[in-house]
Structure 1
Amino acid sequence: MTSNNPIGQGDGADQGPPTWAAPGSAPDAAPGPPEGWSAVPTPAVPGAWPVPGPPAGYPAPGYGPVGHSPVGYGPVGYGPAGYGGHPVPGWGSLNPMLMHKPGILPLRPLNVGDVLSAAFTAIRNAPRVYFGLVLLMQLFTLLVCVVIALAVAAVAFGSNFDNSLAELLLGVGAGGFVLVSTTVSGMCAGILAYPLNQQAVGRRPGLGETWRMTRGRIPAFLGFVGLMVVGWVALLIPTVAVFVAAAVAQEPAVVVVAVLVVVATMVLSVWLAVRISLSLPALFTERLGPVAAVRRSWTLTDRLFWRTLGNLALMYLVVAVIQWVIQFGFQMLAVIVILVDNGSESNGAMVATISIYLLGMILAIVLTQPFMAVTTAVLHLDSRTRKDGFDLDLGQVAAEVAAGQHTDGWPPLSRNVAPAFPHGQPVPPSPYPGRYPQP
């Protein structure tokens, strides 16, 4: 008699459940499972948990023959269960972007150790670019100041100037050199941001390439210098006025007010200096104008003030110690020259003394200026990573450099920032949180 009942079910009370047999055994080797359940596969390794099967009449998807590990799960005994044999995230797995370092620094937000390490590594890998550029610009500055001083002396005094006039001329020339040298140092801080960005993607730019790619930004830099002079003068005028009023009045209350104003001005000056400290790298590498570079620095240091201040203060401390050691040695040499001259303060001794001071100053600047410039450039790049996701740009360009592209240089402009939306301005919602939409 033929039964229409489903396979595995009896058609009467006199029939019991079907007999289930394990593969390779006799039919009556083991009793069958309850109705509606398929056989439970034998664990591949003792101690593994059995997995219940699907309802009767349906194949068991994802499971191979008995005795093998279930398909889709990692081997038993190799850490926590995952998919495709990979461990669950958070159990020893590493984010590859955290380890990605195509150049001198990792493409991720940096800590203090990363900033210092990147500064020293960049200079060690390209000393001709960093030290050579600073040395050439400082020597050019010194040459220009000497020529101007000699021209002024020839026009004003001719050959009729005595020892005191010579000393005055040398003193004014040294002061003018300090001012001009400070301006040139600021320009170097912006120019040296270019090789740092190239080294971040695995390139090693030369001195000629660095100058070629940044010389067009010098007019914008001069505009930035003028903007800074106007700003600092406007900040100091009220302070000087209060201080002069206190000196004239000689009243205790006015003196106290003057002291408080001076302290407040100093604190405000430090705060403003930190907020605009990234202006020069932005001006030279992002090709912004003077005002736009200041706004850019203000945006990049937003909510990163203390971090920026700490890194700059640490590098300033290191640089100050190095400069003091170098200049102290040259000061001792100048004292020796004066002692050899028996303190007569002759023209030759004075010229030699001031020349030694200037030489020590130039050497100290050449040996320390690159460290400050690179530290500022690293902080600018790190702030771009935190604010704009600039690590994505660096990673993409690093891959292109590895493929043989950008042999003539790479302008470090962000590809993730739409040019239609200026920095610091609100933009429409983006599918990539924290980043501007693609242009």
Structure 2
Amino acid sequence: MTTPDDAGTPAPDDTPRYGQRGPQPPEGAAAPGGGAPVPPGAPQPGQYGQPGQYGQPGQYGQPGQYGQPGQYGQPTPNAWGQPQYGQQGQYGQQGQYGGPVQPGYGPPSFAGRPFAPPANKPGIIPLRPLTLGEIFDGAFGAIRSNPKVMLGMSATVIAVATIVGMALGALVSGIFAPQLARLETELGSDVQVLTDMLPLLGASLVTGVVLALALPIVNGILITSVGQSVVGRKATVGEVWAQVRSKVWPLIGFSFLTNLVVYVATFLYVGLTILGFVGDVGLGIVVLLLGFAGWAVFLAWFIVRTLLIPPALVLEGQGFRSAVVRGWKLTRGAYWRTFGISLLAYIAVSVIASIVVYPFSALTTFLVTDTFGILALTAVAQIISSVVTSVFLAGVVSLLYIDVRMRREGLDVELTAAANEHAEHGTA
């Protein structure tokens, strides 16, 4: 698919293709379309795909910056308020693509707005700014479009991590079993409940640590699959792993740092509350209430501001520091929308996961009494809950990232080109 540089003149044959990086203008040369010269050190437009390798899962790249508004890299608003590439006098004139529609062009629509043709939808979402329903529908559509990766691969990683965690927890409990038996003999039945619960508690703690290492990897796998499904491409397990493999440690490191911040904030809140009650009961109540409000506000702000860092890390292929800065900037000015959608998604998936896991919890409470049976059912419940939660939330977060970039950077243009290129090669 080519894009005219000026009215009636086709684009040169070296237009960047899906998976390739086209020729870039030298520093100081005029930008395509007659714009301002390319400033030295300006970033180049990102490409959706690995350079020179069609068929490999790629990254969403950085938005181009050279040129004047309406040229490559700079979006101009069209009649529907969406970013659109093109200059006035080309695509973008009144009555043409991207510009205000003259009276009589197309049938009228409700509220007096001009007729808007349906957006291109090569994959799970239409390539335009998304609504809440489209984000949720796209998250489910990503599962339907590639269940082998979204469910099979993620469930395998979570299951292995859960089983390993439970096994290590049982091993640690077995090591301390003689000490627990001696303690029960000395203190009698007063500590029997405690000694019975310690193996389960130890297994849960170890499983939590192992899952903390595995879930960031699962998140990267899911984000990669969703990114490919947006352009109508069904990535294989090997392609997904090839893109995620180099990001494993950055993803784990990011998860560790964010959890550390949450734990430190929680520790400070609990510590200050205890000190307040030690000094005076009234002061303790004040610190308890005000501290909780401050703790909740801080965590909500911090989690939302860092929510789009994993998609930037995986889909753009950036380094750790660049991805952190990039994800932080993407949420600037979009906090409340990101907060509302992500909170609603978390509440919905939590309710679904609770309903799915409830039968296993009931079995461990009323029917199963031996330790091995409780551990087995707990592991199954943990796997199901983690898969349901991770798959849906990763889809929502990925689509929030793509939505922000379509609204601000005209990513829909790049995605449309990638989808057309994939369609051409797929039908060839």
For normalisation by structure 1, the TM-score amounts to: 0.65
1:178 equivalenced with 2:198 (yes/no): no
In 2, Cα distance between the equivalents of 1:367 and 1:276? 22
Answer yes or no: is the 8 Å Cα contact 2:166–2:375 preserved in 1. Answer: no
Q: For residue 291 of structure 1, report the CA deviation from its aligned partner.
A: 3.5
Residue identity matched to 1:170? L
Deviations 1:70-101 (A, max 9, x none): xxxxxxxxxxxx99xx97446546555x5211
In 2, Cα distance between the equivalents of 1:231 and 1:198? 32
In 2, Cα distance between the equivalents of 1:156 and 1:330? 28
Matched residue, 1:132: 152
In 1, Cα distance between the equivalents of 2:392 and 2:341? 12
Matched residue, 2:308: 278
| SS at 1:99 equivalent | coil
In 2, Cα distance between the equivalents of 1:124 and 1:399? 21
Matched residue, 1:250: 280
Q: 1:307 aligns with which of 317, 337, 351?
A: 337
Question: Which segment is superposed worse, 175-184 or 325-334?
Answer: 175-184
Larger radius of gyration: 1
Matched residue, 2:198: 168
Matched residue, 2:399: 378
| SS at 1:403 equivalent | helix
Residue identity matched to 2:274? V
For normalisation by structure 2, the TM-score amounts to: 0.66
1:393 equivalenced with 2:414 (yes/no): yes
1:110 equivalenced with 2:130 (yes/no): yes
Unaligned runs of 5+ in 1: 1-81, 339-344, 408-439
In 1, Cα distance between the equivalents of 2:427 and 2:206? 41
How many residues of Structure 1 are paired with residues of Structure 2 in the alignment? 314
Equivalent runs, 1:342-357 vs 2, <5 Å: 349-357=370-378
Answer yes or no: is the 8 Å Cα contact 1:167–1:350 preserved in 2. Answer: no
Matched residue, 2:423: 402
Matched residue, 1:25: none
Answer yes or no: is the 8 Å Cα contact 2:213–2:252 preserved in 1. Answer: no
| Structure number having the greater helix percentage | 2
RMSD: 2.9
Residue identity matched to 1:286? E
Answer yes or no: is the 8 Å Cα contact 1:134–1:188 preserved in 2. Answer: yes
Q: For residue 325 of structure 1, report the CA deviation from its aligned partner.
A: 0.9
Q: 2:257 aligns with which of 196, 208, 227?
A: 227
Matched residue, 2:142: 122
Answer yes or no: is the 8 Å Cα contact 1:191–1:281 preserved in 2. Answer: no
Unaligned runs of 5+ in 2: 1-94, 97-101, 109-113, 185-191
Deviations 1:176-221 (A, max 9, x none): 2134324433332232111111111121112222122211100111
| SS at 1:202 equivalent | coil
Residue identity matched to 1:358? A
Q: 1:207 aligns with which of 215, 237, 254?
A: 237
**Larger RCO of the pair (alpha carbons < 8 Å, separation 6+):** 2
Equivalent runs, 1:284-299 vs 2, <5 Å: 284-299=314-329
| SS at 1:205 equivalent | coil
Answer yes or no: is the 8 Å Cα contact 2:151–2:387 preserved in 1. Answer: yes
1:359 equivalenced with 2:380 (yes/no): yes
Matched residue, 1:31: none
Deviations 1:312-348 (A, max 9, x none): 122112211111112211122223424xxxxxx5xxx
In 1, Cα distance between the equivalents of 2:165 and 2:281? 44
Residue identity matched to 1:144? V
